[in-house]
Structure 1
């Protein structure tokens, strides 16, 4: 009986490891110091409160449904106004959809635009991985690059999770 449980545990561990590997969990983020060349526009809603609050998840589902129904065209994105380490307790984030511009679409009720301006010095992190494992890899890559290059993060982050292509995060530096 113990051998059966041991074999089952081993099989499950190998299975989870293979899935994690296929999702890109073993890859590291590529991080470069850049200056943003264009503004990024987000259509969405602002949230401030506990990161584990259901209201935060509701905003994400709302943005997903707006994309799925065709009310908004673009990729998932967020602008975080505080450090990713502190978002475990309290998040200040604009949740929504990255759009091409602020004139070609009608916003759903309750939505507004926010801009991540051009001309900012940022650490640009990207990874070939699923959006399920990408955020931790991207933020740890940004933190390591900031320490290595002795840069100070301003705790303003733009997340971009495209349907096609690499998830990415832009972290503004001083």
Structure 2
């Protein structure tokens, strides 16, 4: 290998590490057991594979509705099966966490009420939503295993900002 090649590869790796660090890739999630608050999501249900174009379109539509302020709130989702599993199939509700259940909903959107008052394992991380969920889920599952907690297959995630993610999973009673 030539010296130029090694230098070029070192620069590429340094840029990659810098981008990962900028996105919060080295942030450590905080995991706690707490009581959930009720949430209202305006969104659309999705059942299919994660590779389905409609899956990505649902996320893009929610982001567009939030960005254009057609719906005020935070990007949020509910998964009815583990989104981090090896399975390609997903059942989800993708949309925006809103405060006003009387808000006018865009065509194709409906409301989902997530009840509060449940014991949940909650993870939070200061990281971009592109890397945050992966860090959160692994931390949640590790914590639940260490504490010998059984979790339900109901995952609520929302993003208070582009650089913060929250996931809550109810503890089986």
Q: TM-score, normalised by structure 1?
A: 0.93
Give the secondary-structure state (helix, strand or coil) at the position aligned to 1:122. strand
Q: 1:22: how far off?
A: 2.1
Aligned to 1:133: 131
SS for the counterpart of 1:131 is coil
The aligned residue for residue 172 of structure 1 is 170
Structure 1 stretches of 4+ moved >4 Å: none
Q: RMSD value over aligned CA atoms?
A: 1.5
Measured against aligned partners, the alpha-carbon deviations of 1:8-39 in whole angstroms (never above 9, x if no partner) come to: 00111011112211221112210000111x31
Cα distance between partner residues in 1 of 2:157 and 2:100: 17
1:7 equivalent in structure 2: 7
Q: Counterparts of 1:8 and 1:137 in 2: how far apart (Å)?
A: 30
**Distance change (3 Å), C-alpha of 1:91 and 1:164:** closer
Q: Does the 8 Å CA contact 2:74/2:160 hold for their aligned counterparts?
A: yes
Give the aligned partner of residue 94 of structure 2. 95
Cα deviation, residue 99, structure 1 = 0.3
In structure 1, list runs of 5 or more residues that go unmatched. Answer: none
Structure 1 residue matching 2:152: 3-state secondary structure:
strand
Residue 104 of structure 2 corresponds to 106
Counterpart of 1:67 in 2: which secondary structure?
A: helix
TM score, norm. by length of structure 2? 0.94
Deviation at 1:60, TM superposition (A): 0.8
Aligned counterpart, 1:72: 71
Instruction: Say whether 1:158 aligns with 2:156.
Output: yes
For the 8 Å contact 2:128–2:163, the answer to whether it is kept is no
The whole-number CA distance in structure 1 between the counterparts of 2:100 and 2:143 is: 31
Moved more, 128-137 or 81-90: 81-90
